[in-house]
Amino acid sequence: MTRPVYAVATNIVSSLGLDTDAHWSAALASRSGIRQYEDASLSENSFYASRLDPGAWQCIYAGTRQTTTIPLSPFEQMTLYSAKKALAEIEEPIDLSRTVLILSSTKGNIEWLNQKEDQRILLTTSAEIISKELGIPNKPLVISHACISGVVASIYGLRLLQAGRYEYAVIVGADRFTQFVLSGFQSFKAVDDTPCKPFDKERRGVTLGEAAATIVLSTRTAHPLAQLVSGATSNDANHISGPSRTGEELATVINSSLGEAGIKDSQIDLISAHGTATLYNDEMEAQAFTLSHVANAPIHSFKGYIGHTLGAAGIVESAMLLSAFRHQQLIPSIGYQLQGVTQPLNITTKALPSPILYGLKTGSGFGGCNAATVWKYIC
């Protein structure tokens, strides 16, 4: 019999605050952390983004500098801070010898490119440093799989715990807002010159953000937040940056996840979509939700709050899904006014109370990758 795996703690660090509760409060108020910036070191033109303010960075520095043995990069500091805060939420003692760290990131220390030696910039180096600082003796793992990295890291943690390899998995995702990332998306003409509007008729592209987020998974049943029931991945092999036009491949992983969970499509009570607000991504997701018969479920994208946070996105958005479980309320999708996709979707616009037992998290990314997980609320 497969071992059940539970989420036992979460943390989110972004422009909205330094813990998950701060992000839930923002969701209830439909309050975004996206702001307009003028910064010639990052872009010739003004841009909208979600960035940590100096006060937040001061808290992060104060919360990490006392335990570090070598200088950490800002990326490593925010990652370590989030992981420590999540672990501090767990009431029972943790056997760190039975724990693994899984780091999810797309760019890591990319801002150190041509400034530090290559070995220091590697994500594996960052993971080893962070794991050591947390006191975890086991070799850490890195998932860097475009924008589905956080969802894939969750699935990988699920499989390791189901197999009995570990009792705990600390899944932490992080990415910084950098000139490299901004210019890259600008080169695709994929950045909106206003705050992003997922699934809306007037959407014109992404807003980028930075964040670190952590979910701690465990096979132990004390004080669970929710159960991670299933997950799956696929690749549509359509284009290096453009998603499938049909949504069939994302629908495949949704159906696979539902099948592994042993539930029907009608049992999904909430969908946390990838929802980047690009023309092609949102349309593809709408097609996939229709093909997998879950389009009637309440759907939201959290990217209207803190933008697309790349390797952190799947962890941030899963942690918010768990908050929706806890409060039995839907999360509003900021920026949505008029339907902008060809398939009808049930986009949430208000934080209404609603019974939520099963939640679906989806993700898609460059290279045609897709992922989905199913979570179950533990009453």
Residue 351 has pLDDT above 90, yes or no: yes
User: Which tens digit of pLDDT belongs to each residue from 140-195?
Assistant: 999 999 999 999 999 999 999 999 999 999 999 999 999 999 999 998 888 999 99
**Residues in the chain, total:** 379
Structure tokens at 379: 């009453």
Residues forming a β-bridge with 7: 217, 226
Identify the burial level of 218 via C-beta atoms within 10 angstroms of its C-beta, where 0-12 means exposed, 13-18 middle and 19 or more buried. buried
Strand-strand pairing, 298-300 and 346-347: parallel
Q: How confident is the model at residue 1 (pLDDT cuts 50, 70, 90)?
A: low
Fill in the DSSP letter of residue 138: S
pLDDT of residue 280 exceeding 80:
yes
Cβ atoms of 95 and 167 within 8 Å: the answer is yes
Answer yes or no: is pLDDT of 219 > 70.
yes
Mean of pLDDT over the chain: 95
The three-point CA angle 214-50-154 to 5° equals 25
Integer CA distances (angstroms), 295 to 60, 300, 363, in order = 40, 11, 15
What integer pLDDT is reported at residue 367 of this predicted model?
86
Confidence of residue 244 (pLDDT cuts 50, 70, 90): confident
Tell me the average pLDDT across 308-333: 98
- 151 near 314, Cβ under 8 Å? yes
66, pLDDT greater than 90: no
Cα 151 to Cα 172: distance, rounded to the nearest angstrom: 11
Predicted confidence band of residue 67 (pLDDT cuts 50, 70, 90): low
